[in-house]
Amino acid sequence: MTSPSGTKLGRYEIRSQIGAGGMGEVYLAEDTQLHRKVALKILPADLASNQDRMRRFGQEATAAAALNHPNIAHIYEIGESDGPHFIAMEFVDGFTLRHLIHEKQPDLPKLLRYLQHVAEGLAKAHTTGIVHRDLKPDNIMVTREGHAKILDFGLAKLVEPQNLSGQANDRFSEVATALMQQHSTPGAVLGTVGYMSPEQAQGKVNEIDHRSDIFSFGCILYEAITRHKAFEGKDAIHSLNKIIREQPTPITNFNPDVPYDLQRIVRRCLAKDPEERYQSIKDVAIEIKDVRRELQGRPGVDTTVPPVSTVGSTIHEGADAAHISATPTSLSPVPSATHPSSAEYIFGGIKRHKIVASVVVALLALALTGIGYVIYKWVAKQSNPAPPFRSVKLQRLTTSGKASDAAISPDGKYVAHVKSDAGQQSLWLRQVATTSDTQIVPPSPQNYYGVTFSKDGNYIYYVQGEPNNPATRHLYQVPVLGGASRKVIENVNSPVSLSPDGARLAFMRGSATQASSSDRTALIVANVDGTGEREVAVRKLINGVYSNGGPSWSPDGKRLASSVTVGPPSEAVGGNVVVEVQVESGAERPITSEKWPPGAGTGEVAWLTDGSGLVLIAPEQGTFSFQLWHISYPGGEVRKITNDLNNYNRLSLAADSSALVTVQTGGEMNLWVTPQGDASRARQISSGRHDGRTGLSWMPGGKIVYTSLESGFSDIWSIEQDGKNQKQLTANASTNMYPWATPDGRYIVFTSTRARSTRSIWRMDPDGGNLKQLTEGPGDVFPQSSPDGRWVVFQSARSGSVRVWRVSMDGGAPERLTDKWTANPTVSPDGSLIACFYREDQPNSPAKVAVIPFPTGDPVKVLDLPRPSFSGAAGLRWTPDGRALTYTDTINGVSNIWSLPLDGGPPKQLTDLKTDQIFWFDFSRDGRQLALSRGTQTSDVILIKDFR
């Protein structure tokens, strides 16, 4: 049906046709009652005649019409006039986002502004339970004034495939979906090929929720950044397969200068598993806004909104408006496999002005703009204070790179910090204003941890390990200006927190680390003199552990806040959470619903003095970057205070919470290859982000698989030993780490959090394909295969304590191989033995090395480590001949590889490197070369102000 100009449908009088598509014909019309322009969409007769679809669409569109948001095009009416069914909606004068991305190509900050608008509009819809279902650049208009509006809410519901019962068919296959002709089944509910979510692509209609829109938004964001579709295939089937199984080309391949945070936003939006995407599009809007603010500081970037003008528009960039109105098809998007949305036809008819009138209007607009700007700036200054955390001030208090712990005095004038140098540690006091240092505890080989000022500022508490058994720690007290230290409490495994009146202290006992054989953790309170100990709450390891970051006393003295690591079976999804515990009753409840990555040792928490919130140290999702976070109380809303590639550990607040100190750790780790024992021939083969920091392994043929943060997340990559052909093998999971290539080259086994956010063992082909989950966690780490490739041995805490397990390479029920604390297993070259770190029955006993028959049995050898404190994450490696075990040892900041003979002889140094630390290592298959993750790491004390 084509309606001539002047035709009336109810109160609407058609002026001209401005488009036609699968959803029907679109007209510019006049609302004769309200005297306004509208876009009138006349629905095809076959759709309008389906009463059930029209009824359901009416319900959906009625809800959409109730949305009142500046970034959503309003639906005015759903009507019928002498047969034709129509939708009257807001007429939007502007361009589709597709046209802007591919033809006008404004700069990135402007595109981000439009997309921030889109995210804010979606957030409004999602809060009312409405899902768009067909979000794409064609359904987003940008007005001449620079405001984005989302079109076609509710229209996708109209064409949802039906089965005979009238319910959405959740078995609708992706193949059938892809083959549906757009003109016969326009705008299928499963979305538009190239922008649909994986659950849409697989026809899982019952699983479609607001997170499906978030995936589609990620596709649009990717396209806006790169000018390429995220999942563009040679045909619809190919595109669908990419959506379900493949990752988009890395953004840096198209634009290496895209901010890291923006890449991370895209990756999280495009997670295949809805549970791993952002759970709220509002969070996406906030983060995009943050990126825009950062880009504003770059030279030459203009992110201002163009002033309203009747003469022209920054968006149009001088285009002839009359020509645009007369020839809407001239604004068609770049070629696409998708059908045209009605949005791309809804362009305004802009009248041509005479020159004199144009000049007058332009001058008037310029004057009004100037006046408006002055008023705007004055109002903004009066009513809009700086947003939280944007004025954070960081001051570096030490520059040695050797700080490991710090605390600020109650009055904020002094900082106590631990300095590590030449294998020894000492405790120092620094005056913030003058940066002068005073040593208060002399250097010793013991480790100092958990530095805390007393409430009156006269004493400093610290936790110290025993000389021959660093895992056993006690609490000491020393006068603030130095003097004799006094032992206060034994067996303390965290920093202490003092009650508001300074009369009691709280701490954690047991261990939340893999270096302990304890199977329980407890929150303890005691008097400041060490008397009157009482357990407030206890957690068994299988039900989660209190963090050794320590508790924090609430300002009213009634509660303790602590981070807790939980995981299946105690929780449906594992992770680190923050809880509050009643001091008297031990009753516990979560402070926030936010979870951080599981098993990563979420750190310290500190309560703000006014009780309005807490500060937390916790890792960024998918990385090993520990950042500072703010949690509001009692609301539980979470925001980041810091946002960089450094790590932060230790957290101490001044009495009025006006300042905090923390230890900032940064560094660079790259891959190196060296012939055994010949450091002079060591050569660097990579220059990424923390390459190999959490694992590397040689593959048959000479390739190396390794972990890297180059993608923004912890992913597994491969590289040739000459540094060529780097390839990303994993993506879209929070964390992938500890890769191990099987000797036959068939598989790579690794730890991943891609399933239910808990650490489990996975297998993949050498090219990253054919992913298979072998275990379900929790805490399954450090996998290695047996030489015949039949078994995977790994470390797990699934039994309530750290043990060695094995699982078939094809999956199945895991088997426990050891009964005592054992960690970091490695199988001998002939497959007959397992070597691992080992502890005797007593808790916190020094780590040793045990050699156990494979698959299980009592140790046939127990070897002492040269330094009892050593049990590095890289673990042990057999020498190719099976006669010795190798490990890394770091002395005075320099690491080397050492060999520990099985016959009981003295350790032998294999490498003679003079600089840098080694974070991971592995032998080549022929035993002639070593691959190393090697680099530097520095730690300094940072003072942070204006963080609230």
Tell me the CA distances in angstroms from 888 to 420, 669, 691, 899, one per residue in order. 19, 15, 17, 9
Q: Is the C-alpha dihedral spanning 254, 256, 257, 259 positive or negative? A: positive
Q: Which residues pair with 929 in a beta bridge?
A: 675
Tell me the CA distances in angstroms from 45 to 19, 25, 542, one per residue in order. 17, 11, 62
Tell me the CA distances in angstroms from 382 to 305, 633, 901, one per residue in order. 21, 27, 73
User: Are 188 and 176 contacting, i.e. CB atoms less than 8 angstroms apart?
Assistant: no
Paired tokens of 188: 């299928």
The continuous run of DSSP H or E covering 245 comes out as helix 236-245
User: Are 231 and 178 contacting, i.e. CB atoms less than 8 angstroms apart?
Assistant: no
Q: What are phi and psi of 599, to 5 degrees?
A: 70, 10
Please state whether beta strands 497-498 and 504-510 pair in parallel, antiparallel, or not at all (unpaired). antiparallel
Instruction: Work out the number of other CB atoms within 10 angstroms of the CB of residue 724.
Output: 8
Angle between helices 210-226 and 281-296 (to 10 degrees): 20
Cis peptide before 778 (omega within 30 of 0): yes
Tally of residues, the chain: 948
CA distance 262 to 250: 12
Known active-site residue 134: yes
CA distance 718 to 706: 6
Which residue of the set 134, 152, 405, 922 is catalytic? 134
Q: What are phi and psi of 443, to 5 degrees?
A: -60, 145
CA distance 753 to 775: 11
User: What is the full DSSP assignment across 885-904?
Assistant: EEEEEEETTEEEEEEEETTS
User: Are 749 and 758 contacting, i.e. CB atoms less than 8 angstroms apart?
Assistant: no
Tell me the CA distances in angstroms from 570 to 296, 574, 759, one per residue in order. 46, 8, 15
User: Are 288 and 265 contacting, i.e. CB atoms less than 8 angstroms apart?
Assistant: yes
Q: Where are the beta strands (DSSP E) in 202-292?
A: none
Q: Which residues pair with 537 in a beta bridge?
A: 523
CA distance 583 to 561: 10
Q: Which residues pair with 429 in a beta bridge?
A: 416, 438
Please state whether beta strands 534-540 and 929-945 pair in parallel, antiparallel, or not at all (unpaired). unpaired
Q: Is the C-alpha dihedral spanning 808, 809, 812, 817 positive or negative? A: positive
Q: Tell me which residue of 806, 735, 756 sits closest to 567, measured CA to CA.
A: 756
Residue whose pair of structure tokens reads 């500022």 in the numeric block? 457
How remote is the C-alpha of 699 from its chain's centroid?
Answer: 29
User: Are 400 and 408 contacting, i.e. CB atoms less than 8 angstroms apart?
Assistant: no
If 0-12 CB within 10 Å is exposed, 13-18 middle and 19+ buried, where does residue 167 land? exposed
Residues 6+ apart with CB under 8 A from 247: 270, 728, 731, 732
Task: For residue 705, give the DSSP letter.
Answer: E
User: Are 39 and 21 contacting, i.e. CB atoms less than 8 angstroms apart?
Assistant: no
For residue 835, the SS3 value is strand
CA distance 195 to 236: 11
Q: Tell me which residue of 811, 796, 806, 848 sits closest to 827, measured CA to CA.
A: 806
CA distance 480 to 301: 51
Indicate which residues carry an active-site annotation. Answer: 134
